């Protein structure tokens, strides 16, 4: 459903593992993705992980700031989705751009469940997203697999 914001609370998996799974699924749907993080260090970690895994290849992506930004299936950076992204992946305590999320097929917010600041930020983002009338889903991996824990449907367009 377009405009869905998926909150993913990480308790067992790493940000890199979870992002790789979501990015692979997005690419399989034919979506391009913009990935943002609070700082360049987190993007660098993800960049390294995407080059190293899966073992039989890598997930096609690039770092923002190059001449081929618009051609990247997955673009890591802080700016606008100049690659024609249909999905946005936010790592950590990031603010969901509500207008952008409404235009996207999917927005993922990946946050560490053991980090009180990220947890508090995600709760605030949930409230903002649902009050804006967007569909929100909350998933957790605490059982060892991803489970849908809560969902609130967005308001019908009027």
| Every domain of the chain and the residues it spans | 4-152
Distance separating alpha carbons of residues 7 and 30, to the nearest angstrom: 22
**Banded model confidence at residue 98, pLDDT cuts 50, 70, 90:** very high
Paired tokens of 157: 């367009």
Looking at residue 1, its pLDDT comes to 67
Paired tokens of 14: 């790493």
Paired tokens of 31: 């979506």
CATH class name, domain 4-152: alpha beta
Q: Are 76 and 61 in contact (CB under 8 A)?
A: yes
66-92 residue pLDDT tens: 899 999 999 999 999 999 999 999 999
Q: What percent of the chain has pLDDT over 70?
A: 94
1-31 residue pLDDT tens: 678 999 999 999 999 999 999 999 999 999 9
Name the pTM for this structure. 0.92
């Amino acid at each position: 459903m377009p405009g869905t914001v998926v909150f993913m609370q990480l308790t067992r998996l790493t940000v890199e593992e979870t992002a790789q799974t979501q990015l692979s699924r997005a690419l399989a749907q034919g979506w391009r993705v913009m990935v943002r993080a609070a700082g360049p260090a987190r993007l660098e970690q993800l960049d390294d992980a995407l080059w190293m895994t899966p073992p039989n290849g890598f997930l096609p992506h690039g770092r923002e700031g190059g001449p081929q930004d618009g051609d990247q299936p997955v673009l890591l950076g802080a700016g606008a989705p100049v690659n024609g992204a249909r999905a946005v992946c936010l790592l950590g305590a990031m603010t969901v751009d509500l207008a952008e999320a409404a235009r996207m097929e999917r927005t993922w917010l990946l946050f560490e469940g053991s980090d009180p600041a990220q947890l508090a930020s995600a709760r605030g983002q949930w409230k903002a997203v649902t009050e804006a009338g967007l569909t929100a889903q909350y998933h957790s991996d605490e059982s060892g697999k991803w489970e849908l824990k809560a969902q609130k449907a967005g308001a019908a367009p009027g």
